[in-house]
Amino acid sequence: MSSAKNININLKIWRQKNAQAKGSMETYKLDNVSTASSFLEMLDQLNEQLINDKKSPVAFDHDCREGICGMCSLYINGRAHGPETGTTTCQLHMRKFKDGDTIYIEPFRSKAFPVVKDLVVDRSSFDRIQQAGGFVSVNTSGRTIDANATPIPKHDADRAFEAAACIGCGACVATCKNGSAMLFVGAKVSQYALLPQGKVEATQRVLNMVRQMDEEGFGNCTNTGACEVECPKGISLENIARMNREYLAASLK
C-alpha cells in the first residue's frame, strides 16, 4: 500500500523464563516497522532482531492469524487484544501506532491463566469448564437425526449462533477487573440453553460448568461490562443474565 511508512517504536514486554520464574518488564527498541505489517508480524520482526543478537526470542501465542481460532492473546497498552474493539490481536495492524510510540505488551493476567513463558499463558482452565458440560451428548451410532429436522424459532437460533461465536480467547477474563470468566461461561451455557437439543442436559450443564469455573479460581462478575466491550466476537452481557437465570432455575430443581 502506498500510504505505508516505516516507524520506530519502543516496546515494554513481559519476559518470564518459565512458569516458576519471577519475570519482569523489559524494554526493547525496534526500528523500521512497516505500518502495513500486522502486530504479530512486528513481534516476528522483534524476534528476528533478538535471534540475530543471540538473545532469546519472545514467546507469544498465535495460530490462525485471522481472528477465528482464539489462540492469540496479549494485553496491549492496557487493553486485551489492543486498542481496537471487535478484533483479536492477530487482526491488529501497526498503522494504529505512531512513530516514537511506547507499546506495553503483557500476558493475559489471571490466577486461572498461569504464565507458561513470556506472553504465553495456559488457558486449559477454559477446556476444563467446557469438559464439565459444554456439549450435547449424542449417540453417534449412525441413527442420528439431522439437526435441521428439529424446528427452532429464528430468534432463538440467532441468539444461539451469536453465543457460539465465542472463540474462547480469554480476553473477557483478562480485561475484567475481577478476573471473571462469566462472559465465556455465559456464552457457552447460552449456546446450548437456547436450543432444544441442549435443553435435555440443561440442569446439570449449568451447575457443573459454574462449579468448575469457581474451582478454577476465576473472580465474581460485578457487571462492569468491560468484557462485552473488549470481546473480539461481540458476545453480549445478556448471556451472563441468561446463565444466572439458568443457574437459579437449575439450583431450585
Partner 1 sequence: MAKSSVLSSSIAKKVAMALSGLFLISFLALHFSINLTSVFSEEVFNSCSDFMGYNPLIQYVMQPVLAFGVVFHFVMGFVLELQNRAARPIAYAKNNGSANSSWASRNMIISGLVVLAFLGLHFYDFWFPEMNYKYVEALPQDPTRYYGELVHKFESPVRTGLYCLAFVLLFLHLWHGFNSSMQSVGFNNKFSRALHKLGYAYAVIVPFGFIFIALFHHFNQ
Contact positions toward ligand SF4, by CB under 6 A? 166-172, 183-184, 187, 231-233, 235
- Supply φ then ψ for residue 249, to 5 degrees: -65, -45
Cβ pair 13, 28 in contact under 8 A = yes
Cβ pair 191, 160 in contact under 8 A = yes
Select the residue interacting with ligand FES from 16, 88, 175, 180 (CB under 6 A). Answer: 88
Closest of 120, 113, 252 to residue 184, by C-alpha: 113
Q: 16-31 burial string, b = 16+ CB within 10 Å, else e?
A: beeeeeebeeeebebe
Q: Which does 143 bind (CB under 5 to 8 A by kind): ligand FES, partner 1, ligand HEM, none?
A: none
Question: Helix or strand or coil: residue 183?
Answer: helix
> Binding of ligand HEM at residue 223 (CB under 6 A)?
yes
Cβ pair 238, 188 in contact under 8 A = no
> Binding of partner 1 at residue 225 (CB under 8 A)?
yes
Which of residues 91 and 212 has its CB atom nearest to ligand FES in the complex? 91
Which residue has 451472563 as its cell numbers?
240
Select the residue interacting with ligand FES from 65, 96, 109, 128 (CB under 6 A). Answer: 65
Distance between CA atoms of residues 13 and 59, nearest Å: 11
Closest of 17, 55, 9 to residue 33, by C-alpha: 9
Which residue has 451447575 as its cell numbers?
207
Q: Which does 65 bind (CB under 5 to 8 A by kind): ligand SF4, partner 1, ligand FES, none?
A: ligand FES
Q: Which does 68 bind (CB under 5 to 8 A by kind): ligand FES, partner 1, ligand HEM, none?
A: ligand FES
Query: What minimum distance in Å lies between the beta carbon of 243 and partner 1?
Result: 8
> Binding of partner 1 at residue 177 (CB under 8 A)?
yes
Footprint on this chain of partner 1 (rule: CB under 8 A): 12, 14, 25, 75, 77-79, 83, 104, 106, 109-112, 175, 177-180, 182, 207-208, 210-211, 213-214, 217-226, 229-230, 237-238, 240-245, 247-248, 251
Footprint on this chain of ligand HEM (rule: CB under 6 A): 222-223
